[in-house]
Amino acid sequence: MRGMVLGETRKLPAELTRGVVEHCVLALVSDGEAYAFAIVRTLGARGLVTSEGTIYPLLGRLRRDGLVTTDWRESDAGPPRRYYRITTEGRRALAEFAADWAALRDAVDGLLPARPKRGGTSS
């Protein structure tokens, strides 16, 4: 990819991430709770989100929709933090998304040209 530095995380186009990031957040909190900055850091490392400003409205929507619950806790490193945890409804939404994502991924993969294997060419 032109202009990329080895080891650099590429930010994905917004058209590809729209509608996907909220389910990535649900996946991140499906095994345990997390606070917003940790969520942003993890998503950012994968090129999905670049700032807390984009994640807070999404987290608020997930909370209002009953897909996550929250609680405030004191922090040794500064102000209190709001921790996010997935709900039963959130797990249901994540499972539905995972099935839809697999179908979409398979459909797109079936249309894309095969990638050559390292050290060889595709046949």
CATH number at residue 79: 1.10.10.10
In a domain, 83, yes or no: yes
Q: How far apart are CA 54 and CA 47, in angstroms?
A: 13
Instruction: Report the run of H or E that residue 105 belongs to, with start and end.
Output: helix 88-111
| Pairing of β 68-75 and β 78-86 | antiparallel
Going residue by residue through the chain, which has 123 residues, state the pLDDT in tens, using 9 for 90 and above. 444 444 455 666 777 777 899 999 999 999 999 999 899 999 999 988 877 788 999 999 999 999 999 999 998 888 999 999 999 999 999 999 999 999 999 999 999 998 766 665 554
In a domain, 88, yes or no: yes
In a domain, 19, yes or no: yes
In a domain, 5, yes or no: no
In a domain, 8, yes or no: no
In a domain, 70, yes or no: yes
Q: How many domains does the chain have?
A: 1
Q: How far apart are CA 100 and CA 76, in angstroms?
A: 40
Q: How far apart are CA 56 and CA 37, in angstroms?
A: 10
